[in-house]
Amino acid sequence: MSGMELVVETLSWVFILSGSFFSIVGAVGILRFPDFWSRLHAASISDSAGVILLLLGMAMQAGWTLITVKLFIILAFLFITGPTSTHAVANAALVSGLKPRSAVKSGTKGKSEDKTDDKADTA
């Protein structure tokens, strides 16, 4: 019994510490990456890995109580809404004509009749 508790305790340490590591990595990425589309990748790191690891670590600390149930409800809800809102933001940016940096610089150089390039600045 005590060995099992030690395993759970160590595992929850590992989960919480790596979850906070991934949160910081995602935040640094969202601050340092050059354009919007690459920043979405950094946001998804912190929205998936950070949330899963931190909430699982907290659930292991709480044991089998009502708190664990609430933590898993939060986890399930963030699982549904996180990708949905990321998709909504990306879709809105795409509709407004925001282009990735490399496509604006080199990819569409030859065929610059594409009107949507101009709208990226006004968005």
Q: Does 60 bind other proteins (CB under 8 A)?
A: no
Q: Which is nearer to other proteins, 6 or 67 (CB)?
A: 67
The minimum distance between CB 10 and other proteins, in angstroms, equals 11
Comparing CB distances to other proteins, the nearer of 4 and 31 is: 31
How many of the other CB atoms lie within 10 Å of CB of 84?
10
Q: Which of residues 67-106 bind other proteins (CB under 8 A)?
A: 67, 70-71, 73-74, 77-78, 81-82, 84-86, 88-89, 92-93, 95-96, 98
Quote the DSSP letter at residue 1.
-
Q: CB 78 → other proteins: shortest distance, Å?
A: 6
CA-to-CA distance for 114 and 123, rounded, in angstroms? 16
Return the CA Rg of the chain: 20
Q: Residue 31: CA atoms inside 13 Å, Cβ hemisphere, count?
A: 6
